[in-house]
Amino acid sequence: MRIEQDIELCSVTNVNTKEKLMNALVKAGIPYAEEWEKIPLVKRKRFNGAKEVCVVITHQAKADQAKAIIEGLDDLVKKDIIY
């Protein structure tokens, strides 16, 4: 459930990557929520062919800290994260 101060942080196309990202956010104490969205066929190229993506949401006051956490992740994990 979103509130006014929440923003979309990123989208994740892989479930394993989502788990790694969520674990990193939890360790850092950053609040988050997730929403799953189905991707229409014509837009799948942008999302590496994924049929659905996980949209990660966080409080706007924690967005910069969350982005720093994402930048610190392994390159193999970051390849499945879309801003």
Cβ atoms within 10 Å of 5's Cβ, excluding its own? 10
Give pLDDT, residue 9.
96
Q: What is the pLDDT of residues 7-58, one digit of tens each?
A: 999 999 999 999 999 999 999 999 999 999 999 999 999 888 889 999 999 9
Give pLDDT, residue 1.
63
* Among candidate residues 39, 71, 73, 69, the one with its CA nearest the CA of residue 54: 39
Quote the pTM value.
0.87
What mean pLDDT is predicted for residues 56-80? 95
| 1-5, 53-57, 59-63, 69-73: segment of lowest average pLDDT | 1-5
* The three-state (H, E, C) secondary structure of the chain, written as one string: CCCCCEEEEEEECCHHHHHHHHHHHHHCCCCEEEEEEECCHHHHHHHCCCCEEEEEEEEHHHHHHHHHHHHCCCHHHHCCEEC
